[in-house]
Structure formats: structure tokens, C-alpha cells
Amino acid sequence: MRFASILCCLLVSLSMSAQADWLDQLRKRAESLMATPSGTATAAALSDEEIVRGLKEALAQGSRQAIAQLGRPGGYLNNPSVRIPMPEDLQKVERLLRSLKQDKLADEFVATLNQAAEKAVPEAAAILGDSLAKMTLEDARGILQGPEDAATQYFRKSSAGQIRERFLPIVRQATEQAGVTAAYKRLMQRAGPYAQLMGGQATDLDGHVTDKAMDGLFKMIAEEERRIRKEPLARTSELLKKVFGAVVK
């Protein structure tokens, strides 16, 4: 009730160098293999199939690790690189709350946003798995020959729409069950057209959380990819060791 009252007053007063990374190296390796006449490749040469399977396994490992890190308690909230802030349109409200010594309310609001994302992110596992299963040789070559963020672009293009559809109802349910965000959403409903004075993000809280949750997921997947290409110890299977070991020679 106190939070709703404060927000009512506020409403009235307001009028997410890698040039030699493993993808580039894989691309060069693939190009050299494709340029080798049939039957003349050495026994140590990697086949197209091995390169594609290695790429898929690397992306699968990266997505699993990212989801595991983000889906645990504090996965978003305690990670500054993916922590979800209040919507930009509400940051004036946050500053005013803190100036009024209402830090607890502001902290609870932000924590609820991040906890909603943590509940939603495991839903991405099956979707990303399907995306990898459907990856074709043409897709893989496009990734190998593309820019350094081509793998993340592939995931975004092939799965972002489905992930958003799965995240949004979970985020909505979580924010409607938490006291502070539930009170805020009820207030926005009662404010009707006046709520638009606070901006679009302020009235679509769940959309803001969902989009930021997805940004954080893809950011963490990209970090896992960089780790695999740079750190031999991160290659946890024989296939990864073979593919990436051969590539860096």
C-alpha cells in the first residue's frame, strides 16, 4: 500500500580482440579442406562432418553452461553484466525512492525483475537444442565464414521468437505474484491512459524483463564460446579436443 501510494504521487508529479578466434580458425581450416582434392587429405585432417559436429557440440556446451549459470538463484541479480535494471522510464522513480530513503522498495523491485528472469531462462534449453538439431551444413558453413558473432546471430535468428513466447508468460506470472511489482502493475492499470506519461517501458514491465533476460542469455552463450575457443581445459569432450586442438595447430 505504501509503495502504491508513493508511486501514485510520483505519477502525478511526472509530466546486453578476437580476430584469431576459433570461428575464424575453423573457417580457414574448412576452406583448406574444401580446397584439398578428394582422396588426398591426410589422416589427421578434419572432415566437414567433424567440423560441423564440433561446432554443434561447442554451441550446445555453451548454451547449457549459460542456462545453468543464469537459472540458479542470483544468476541474473548477482551478475553485473546481465543484471536487469528498472526500465529506463522508471529510473527517475527509482532515484526518487532512494532519495526518500525507500531503498528497500527499490531493491525489492529490481530483485523481483531478476528473479522472474531466473525462473524463465531454463525454458530456453529445449528451444536451443532444437535449433542445433536443425542446423544444416549450409548453416554451419555460414557461421564459420561469418563474423565473430555469427554463432550468436544464428541462435537469435533461429530461436529468439520462440524463446520470447516461452519466457513472457513465466515472467508475467512471477511479477504478478511478487508484492512490489504486483502493486505497481495494479497501479498502472488503475492509472489508465495517464500511465503513458511514464513511458512505454514503464507500462510493459514484463516485456522489458523478457527482452533483458534474452539479452543476458545470448551474452552468456557468447562468453562460453570465447572460453571454449581460448581455453583448452574448456574442451570437455574428445571431439572438442580433436576439432579445436587441430584448428589451433
Convert the pLDDT of each residue in 50-109 to its tens digit. 767 777 877 888 899 999 999 999 999 999 999 999 888 777 777 877 888 888 888 888
Please tell me the predicted confidence (pLDDT) of residue 58. Answer: 75
Per-residue model confidence (pLDDT) at position 76 = 97
The answer to whether residue 137 is domain-embedded is yes
Q: Would you state the pLDDT for residue 73?
A: 95
Give the residue-averaged pLDDT of 103-122: 91
Asked if the structure places residue 52 within a domain, the reply is yes
* Structural domain boundaries, residue 126: 22-29+47-247
Residue 153 banded pLDDT, cuts 50, 70, 90 = confident
Mean pLDDT for the chain?
A: 74
The answer, yes or no, to whether residue 193 has pLDDT greater than 90, is no
36, pLDDT greater than 50:
no
| pLDDT over threshold 50, residue 40 | no
Number of domains the chain contains: 1
pLDDT attached to residue 194? 41
Those residues with Cβ within 8 angstroms of residue 69's Cβ, 6 or more apart along the chain or in another chain: 75, 79, 220
Residue with cell 589422416: 43
Domain membership of residue 7 (yes or no) is no
Indicate whether 120 pLDDT > 70. Answer: yes
Percent of the chain with pLDDT over 70: 62
Q: Say if 5 falls within a structural domain.
A: no
**Residue 85 forms part of a structural domain:** yes
- Residue 47 exposed, middle or buried by CB count within 10 Å (0-12, 13-18, 19+): exposed
148 DSSP 8-state letter = T
In a domain, 1, yes or no: no
10-17, Cβ contacts within 8 angstroms, sequence gap of 24 or more: 10/93, 10/96, 11/187, 11/191, 11/194, 11/195, 11/197, 11/198, 14/92, 14/93, 14/197, 14/198, 15/197, 16/82, 16/215, 16/216, 16/218, 16/219
In a domain, 38, yes or no: no
Gyration radius from the chain CA atoms: 23
Q: How confident is the model at residue 119 (pLDDT cuts 50, 70, 90)?
A: very high
**Residue 231's pLDDT is what?**
58
95-102 long-range contacts, CB within 8 A, separation 24+: 96/10, 97/6, 100/6, 102/6
Helix residue ranges per DSSP H, the chain? 2-13, 22-35, 48-70, 91-99, 103-120, 124-133, 137-145, 150-177, 179-191, 200-203, 205-230, 238-247
Question: To which residue does cell 564459420 refer?
Answer: 144
In terms of average pLDDT, the best of 124-133, 141-150, 189-198, 200-209 is 124-133
d(CA 125, CA 173): 20
Over residues 209-227, the pLDDT tens digits come to: 999 999 999 999 888 877 7
Answer whether residue 41 is part of any domain: no
